[in-house]
Chains A and B, each alone.
Chain A
């Protein structure tokens, strides 16, 4: 099974339950799939939930101490195991911030996450919203409230759904861990590599250095992407810094043909005197030589 199959099965499930509004009623879906969902406040920090069968009845137990958005995700993740017929192969623990952190996970679990994200933020609902709104912190905050899903989940779904040239980038300790680009950005030939450091003076970089929760920056797209096509674009970035995890979330909007003023600092942080723009005229009077 691949991601497209998981997404397709999620869309079939949503159609079967006639899901047309947000937030998606995950309890109705879980119950429809034969589960009784209960919360327990006795699960440890390293447990997001459990599923089991008792007297022929299937149960999903979610950690009542987790954020409600995480509990919704856990429910849909467990339903995904059932719908996709994939075994549960979690590691020895699933810390409470699992969904917000990036570490290697078994492919079965990743597919169940993809399924859960598709169910929580259905394509048919996010697609028009991604056309109507800018890719901004305000928009993501508004959509988190609307879909009752995590910021990461909303932002990555928005980037995937948008017809604009967008990318969503997550970095930890200043290094890019994960990026999602919209189809049109990929079609334009602009790709963002993971495993590299954040661009110097990007909003994310500035937020880390200043210890601020948010920052905004505009710069050349070539600072973010080594693709040749990036030279044609500028980038508007809004970044959120979550200091507890050393994590930054960058919302990037690419614009074509807009030249950004060059930075006064080179990549080593040293001052670089800029030459005046060429006009076709000499800047001195040659008759006075």
Chain B
């Protein structure tokens, strides 16, 4: 999952035009939002992400995903875990989302969940 795809899906979900987004996102121009959605713009600032997230009516979890996507794409299988496994706390998901691997990387949802649990265990009292 990348930033452009995420924004496109969020727009489709709420059936929001760029003009409507522009109105909702205060001082963000529809041209800027359009370029961002097309992947033709660099990483937006935290303030822009917040405004755009509110305009797209993102849930709290989706807003966290949105923030991560401004830094780097997310593996599709991990994205599915983020979207579907609300029983897993975001604080346990975020470390594996930003993890760099010296070795095998998870490729399935099952692998990612296992890694999340293994990483969480490292911090168990």
Q: B-contacting residues of A (Cβ < 8 Å)?
A: 38, 40, 42-44, 46-55, 59, 61, 63, 74, 77-78, 81, 87-88, 90, 92-94
Contacts and interface: CB of A to CB of B under 8 A. Distances in A.
9 contacts: A43-B118, A44-B104, A52-B96, A52-B99, A52-B100, A61-B122, A81-B100, A90-B102, A93-B104
Nearest to A95: B103
A47 B102 contact: yes
A108 to B, nearest CB: 11
B43 to A, nearest CB: 15
Contacts of A93: 103-104
B118 A42 contact: yes
A47 B101 contact: yes
A52 B98 contact: yes
Contacts of A59: 95, 122
B118 A40 contact: yes
Contacts of B99: 50-52
Interface of B: 91, 94-96, 98-105, 118-119, 121-123
A44 B103 contact: yes
Contacts, number: 64
A52 B95 contact: yes
Contacts of A74: 102
B29 to A, nearest CB: 32
B5 to A, nearest CB: 22
A249 to B, nearest CB: 24
Nearest to A47: B103
Contact of B105 (A52, A53, A92): A92
A49 B121 CA distance: 16
A94 B118 contact: no
A93 B101 CA distance: 9
B104 A47 contact: yes
A90 B91 contact: no
Contact of A48 (B94, B98, B102, B105): B102
B41 to A, nearest CB: 21
Contacts of B96: 52
A90 B101 contact: yes
Given A38-B122, A52-B119, A88 B98 contact: no
Contacts of B123: 54
